[in-house]
Amino acid sequence: MCNAGFQAESLVNQHTILAEIGELKKLLIGVIKSSTPPNNTFPNEVPWPLKTADDLKKLNEKLANDSLFKSEVSHSINYCLKSYSLL
């Protein structure tokens, strides 16, 4: 009896999580489609891998720019969604 209750609760939780994942996926796709294309110059402006303290300073300055950071995050999410055929 107790095991059946656990299984029922587990199925309800699984259904809830799957619904939330679906909503999150729709939200991410909507944000990506409404954003401006990412600035692809960022990787060329900062040497990688970081080898010196100056390289780290340059990277931190770039990341301090909120719009650049958002653009890079959007680009990364877009890449992942395309990689997994979610777009």
Residues 14-30 pLDDT 10s: 999 999 998 888 877 77
Which of helix, strand or coil describes residue 61? Answer: helix
Q: What average pLDDT is seen over the chain?
A: 77
Q: How do the residues of the chain divide into helix, strand and coil, expressed in percent and rounded to 5?
A: 75, 0, 25
Percent of the chain scoring above 70 in pLDDT: 75
Give the number of other Cβ atoms within 10 Å of residue 12's Cβ: 10
Q: Residue 45: its pLDDT value, please?
A: 62
